[in-house]
Amino acid sequence: MTVASLRHAAFPLLDRALKGGASLVAGRFAAREPLSAQRAIFLELLSRGSATRFGRDHGLAELAALPFEQAYLRYRSRVPVRSYADFWREYFSGGCLESEHGRSLLLEDVTWPGRIPFFCETSGTTAPSKFIPFSAAMFAANRRAALDLVCCYLSARRDSRLLQGKLLYMAGNTQLSDLGQGVKSGDMSAITLRHRPRYLDPFIAPDAATAALPWEQKLEAMARLLLSGAGVRGISGVPPWILLLLKRCSIQGGKPLAQLVPGLELIIHGGTSLAPYKNEFAALFPDRGPQFLELLPSSEAFMAFQTPGEERMRLAPYYGVFFEFLPAEELDERGGAASDARCLPLAEIEVGRRYAVILTTCAGLWRYHIGDTIRFHAREPLFIEFTGRDKFLDRFEEKVTQGEVEEAVARANRLPGVDIREFMVGPAIAERRHLWVLAMGAGGEKDPARLGAALDGALRAMNADYGTFRAQGRIGAPLVVPVGEEEIYRWSKEVRGKLGGQSKIPHVDPTLEGELVQSLARFAGGSEAGIS
């Protein structure tokens, strides 16, 4: 008997054993108490951070010896809320040096004990790259979160064949930059993929050579892999890129997708809302399709994930992060938080209210304003909804959230003949109205007036301020520029220099004057629609 046949014969026993272990892990996850977990994490973070320069600056050693309630009140009064720019200016830039060998970045005992081995490099739309510290402790916390997610899935789906195949991980650029003295930087997905435990290799695709290809070649190679019968059971990535991959499979295979990838049982998605893309996924899988699970990851922390059978994500306050929440209405007009903003711990949140997320992490970020907002839908369990970035659509004081923008597109997509594949909206300042660039499917409706009326009506129904301002004439009717689906991706590649993997099209233009959406409209021929 060959080794392969022995492995095949033994697999049912191994599968049962692994799923039994998964059920134990899932049971422990369900039994955790969020508030006690947050108290323990907070005091542990204070203790570990006390010997750093940041800890000495803010007296963390003294706080670590106090009970949680006293420690937190003093922590909130001593440690200001900081943005990335604040951390860079006060703590990170001192470790950045230019030499004849290039740029180096070294943080050792600055905001977290020891040397930071990795930095998640995130390129902003309007600012230079951010280098988010990624410590060994954060690496371990993220692994625990991923393990809990998979175990919750396997525990709920005892008939799952996920362990008999591979998870296709749609990472961005997998190349890491050398920042000197053994320190590396790159996409978070690249860091986690390249430095994963070796025992996961049989369960992860694509291989290193494929992952390193340019995006268009990688997309083709991943489509071939899905169609090859190589046993891909799950896909993890950003919704628009997963869609592109599945459509590429349809084109290559020439059959309905369900026939081409019958073994695909799980899609793990995050980074942007699924709502605008639901119709497209439903069209690809008109009958029974794969299970969809949403998660809320970031370069700074793992924050939430969805478990099978539940409609929303659960906040996951168990993985090396202490959470605070700032009511979104207290953000300034540019989405910023005051350094003395009165944030709330998890025990004091209100269901139904929208909050900006403030993080203290095991990678040395202390009361860090990450830029994401969420809304709580329940306390037990802690169901949340990701409501977008802090930079909501508000140049005319309308305070339209990214969640409302995406829901407006989702509602428009439910109209006959409408097929919006991707989009961006931002302010047209001179005309005091919103400019929407909509990337449409080949056979979809392209009448700007009808599309604009649908989006306008949806926002009026959801947002009272927007409805009032429209009625008063303080905001004009939206200007819609329909473009071909490929145009928006070509613009992203040629103008922004970003395409594929974790590079998302921002649904709400984050620039102050709408420069990004206007650039896209001009690139796609929007001058014909009055875009100067």
The answer to whether the Cα torsion of 328, 146, 192, 277 is positive or negative is negative
Q: What is the pLDDT of residues 255-291, one digit of tens each?
A: 889 899 999 999 999 877 888 788 889 989 988 889 9
Of the candidates 321, 299, 87, the one whose C-alpha atom is nearest the C-alpha of residue 186 is: 299
Please tell me the distance from the alpha carbon of residue 133 to that of residue 33, in angstroms, as a whole number: 28
DSSP assignment, residue 162? G
Tally Cβ neighbours within 10 Å of residue 248.
18
Beta carbons of 336 and 369 less than 8 angstroms apart: yes
> Domain residue spans in the chain?
1-390, 402-529
Q: What is the pLDDT of residue 1?
A: 42
Q: What is the pLDDT of residue 7?
A: 43
Instruction: Retrieve residue 202's tokens.
Output: 């049989």
Beta carbons of 438 and 480 less than 8 angstroms apart: yes
Q: What is the pLDDT of residues 183-224, one digit of tens each?
A: 999 888 888 888 888 888 888 999 888 888 888 889 899 999
Regions in the chain scoring below 50 on pLDDT: 1-10, 124-127, 527-529
Please tell me the distance from the alpha carbon of residue 389 to that of residue 401, in angstroms, as a whole number: 8
Q: What is the pLDDT of residue 102?
A: 60
Instruction: Check if CATH label 3.30.300 holds for domain 402-529.
Output: yes
Within 13 A of 347's CA, how many CA atoms are on the CB side? 9
* Phi–psi pair at 133, nearest 5 degrees: -60, 140
Q: Do the domains 402-529 and 1-390 match in fold? A: no
Is pTM beyond 0.85? Reply is no
Q: What is the pLDDT of residue 496?
A: 76
Q: What is the pLDDT of residue 394?
A: 79
The answer to whether the Cα torsion of 72, 74, 75, 81 is positive or negative is positive
Instruction: Retrieve residue 154's tokens.
Output: 């396997």
Instruction: Check if CATH label 3.40.50.12780 holds for domain 1-390.
Output: yes
